[in-house]
Amino acid sequence: MARPMQHIDRKDLYINLETRVQYLHSFLDFSSRDIEALMLGAKYIKALIPAIVNIVYKKLLQYDITARAFQTRSTSYEGPVEQVLEEDSPQILHRKMFLRGYLNKLCSDPSKMEFWEYLDKVGMMHVGRGRQHPLHVEYVHIGVTLSFIQDVLTEALLSHPRLKLDRKIALVKALGKIIWIQNDLFAKWYVRDGEEFEKEMEVPEIEKEGYLRGKKILHDESESEDEDEDEAEDIKAQSGGCPFKGMSAGMESMSMGKDAGMKNGTAQVQVDQGDASITPGTPDYANSSDWPAGD
């Protein structure tokens, strides 16, 4: 028997973030199985983060239209720029720090509403809102960067030499759902759908980057891995119940990932103390000795 048709209030999708997130979860079948896969697979993702950050910024600096945003804070600016940024330029090193924190945030507990509130805030900050010094990045660059990150993560995880196939599939599927929900939480700030409800939408507060409602939720230093393992076990134990029952709880501490070596189809990444150099190479994830042991 077919399920009864669910009613979705259109206005709520634009003025109530929790309603929007719950609708996206339902449509994508984002469930406790996905949360369990993400929590148990977090250590594998974290091992990739330093290398992924360097690959992403190498890509962004290949194009003047994306590179100029780090100097002018806008991809629409077409005037002259004073200098050519390098991967070790102060502005780029600063941005890398926040991307590392963001990717680690994706490894935290998505059953909590603060997880999605922060992803929504990331979208809002790229349209010139909620920041003392506005940033304007056009959506075309946002979408393609998310796709690039997903592509690198997918290849790396599927190439893990010791992770079982069912675990790989579950982790890649769950990450794909997270990234596409993030894509929607970017798009909602760019598109004009629902603009008739603008007066009823929440006005964003101006906060420092890495903060949500006055609370620092991105961290610069590694924290105890025991907390990650305990959190993963808690999620696994609760996987038979509603995955969103903890949405009102506060965000748990998260830890930065360990350094790792990896390669992709265009670059070989050697990680050294949180940074990496990129040289031409070929796919060879399976030979990396820095992967966490498989379960």
Q: What is the mean pLDDT of each run of 10 residues along the chain (295 residues)?
A: 90 96 98 97 96 96 90 66 78 91 94 95 85 82 97 96 95 98 96 79 66 65 45 44 37 33 39 35 44 61
How many secondary structure helices (H) and strands (E) does the chain include? 11, 5
Q: Where do the structural domains in the chain lie, given as residue ranges?
A: 10-75+86-198+226-238
Residue pointed to by tokens 């600096």:
61
Q: Which pLDDT belongs to residue 295?
A: 62
Q: Which pLDDT belongs to residue 275?
A: 37
> CB 225: neighbour CB atoms within 10 A?
14
Q: Which pLDDT belongs to residue 134?
A: 78
Report helix, strand or coil for 172: helix
DSSP 131: -
Q: Which pLDDT belongs to residue 77?
A: 57
> Is the CB of residue 261 less than 8 Å from the CB of residue 271?
yes
CATH 1.10.490.10 fits 10-75+86-198+226-238, yes or no: yes
Q: Which pLDDT belongs to residue 294?
A: 63
C-alpha to C-alpha distance for 112 and 249, rounded to whole angstroms = 6
Q: Which pLDDT belongs to residue 71?
A: 80
Q: Which pLDDT belongs to residue 248?
A: 34
Q: Which pLDDT belongs to residue 85?
A: 81
Q: Which pLDDT belongs to residue 212?
A: 64
C-alpha to C-alpha distance for 117 and 215, rounded to whole angstroms = 12
Closest CA to 73 of 128, 120, 145, 129: 128
DSSP 62: T
Compute the C-alpha angle 291/294/295, nearest 5°: 150
Residue 180 is which amino acid?
W
Closest CA to 144 of 71, 83, 62, 87: 62
